[in-house]
Amino acid sequence: MNKLSYVVKNTFINMRRNPLLVIATMLAVLVSSFLVFTTLSGRAVVENNTSRWQNGVHVVIFLDDRVTTTAHKQLQDSLESYPEVRMVDYFSKSEATEEFKFLFKDQPELVQEVDFEILPSSLRVNLNDPSDYQLIIERMEGNPAVKEIRASGEAIDRLLSLTNTLVISASVFAVLIAFAAFILIINTLRLTAYAKRREIKIMKTLGASSTYIRLPFIFEAIFESLVGTCIAIGFGWGVIQYSKGSVISESIFDITISDTYLINLTLGLILCSVLFGLFASFIGIRKALNE
């Protein structure tokens, strides 16, 4: 019990020696952990929405009204014969009108101004593999029954590409800040160890083990790392909860992340912060213990 009391007491004594460095270290860890938490959470949101979109309509083929209904039916039969196609739904002009009114029900002025006769009928294509959308576009180009082709896969590909770029950029930035926190912890511990060099020599003379001498420094590094990480995680959870009720969630993205994913991410970050503190403390006071 006396040993534990010594370790805890000296941990906080060490931190009081360099309060500004301790605060700077916690802030660096906080920013780095927050970037990791929000980036991975954001990627999960994008993947969830992408998966939801990919299970819907992948290609919309707008039909030319100047072509007969028989030609439209032949085109639908042709599409349904392709092995890449799971299902094809015909969307009439009246159904297109009802869809437009539903989508823009909050803009009655726009609904009143639109000439619904210009809305074309269409074929909504669902694919077995969403990445095959380009094959469908190539096969439909030049068909006299086709007026225009739109594919959700193009937007999904751009979104995933943008997301990957943001993830890489944020990860690099997080690593740089984590490295800065690592250097700060090492310097903080070295300054503290230098200030206590006589005490450390006396303890070694009296037979104290290196582990026992090292423990206050280990606890200090882990404490600084854990505090910064826990605050970052708290902010991250708060951002997610706020986003669920935001305009973005209501209009564009479904901000849905499973509790299991968030818990695993939280535990993973906490474990990494502990290992981070352990490694930094080992490097930070190795020289002081070897003198």
- Non-local (6+) Cβ contacts of 268 within 8 A are none
CA 224/CA 286 separation, integer angstroms: 19
Q: Which of 153, 181, 205 is the last residue before a domain boundary? A: 153
* Distances, alpha carbon 243 to alpha carbons 147, 166, 233, 266, in Å: 39, 18, 15, 18
Task: Note down the domain range covering 212.
Answer: 2-53+157-290
Helix pair 210-244, 259-290: axis angle to 10 deg: 150
**Residue 208 DSSP class:** -
Of 89-93, 152-156, 227-231, where does the model show the most confidence? 227-231
Instruction: Indicate if 117 and 257 belong to the same structural domain.
Output: no
Tokens 């290609």 sit at which residue?
59
Q: What is the mean pLDDT of residues 11-39?
A: 82
Q: What is the mean pLDDT of residues 53-60?
A: 65
Instruction: Indicate if 48 and 66 belong to the same structural domain.
Output: no
Instruction: Indicate if 114 and 256 belong to the same structural domain.
Output: no
pLDDT score at 251? 46
When pLDDT is cut at 50, 70 and 90, the band that residue 128 belongs to is confident
Tokens 């993205």 sit at which residue?
253
Q: How many domains does the chain have?
A: 2
Please answer whether residues 262 and 38 qualify as being in contact, where contact means their C-beta atoms are separated by less than 8 angstroms: no
When pLDDT is cut at 50, 70 and 90, the band that residue 291 belongs to is low
Q: Per-residue pLDDT for 41 more than 50? A: yes
CA 180/CA 160 separation, integer angstroms: 30
For 80-102, write each residue's pLDDT tens digit: 888 888 888 888 878 877 877 77
Instruction: Indicate if 167 and 29 belong to the same structural domain.
Output: yes
For 178-206, write each residue's pLDDT tens digit: 888 888 888 877 777 777 777 777 777 77
Q: Per-residue pLDDT for 257 more than 50? A: yes
Instruction: Indicate if 114 and 257 belong to the same structural domain.
Output: no
- Non-local (6+) Cβ contacts of 288 within 8 A are 190, 193, 194, 197, 200
Torsion angle (degrees, nearest 10) of CA 39, 40, 41, 46: 90
pLDDT score at 47? 67
- Neighbouring CB atoms inside 10 A of 85's CB total 19
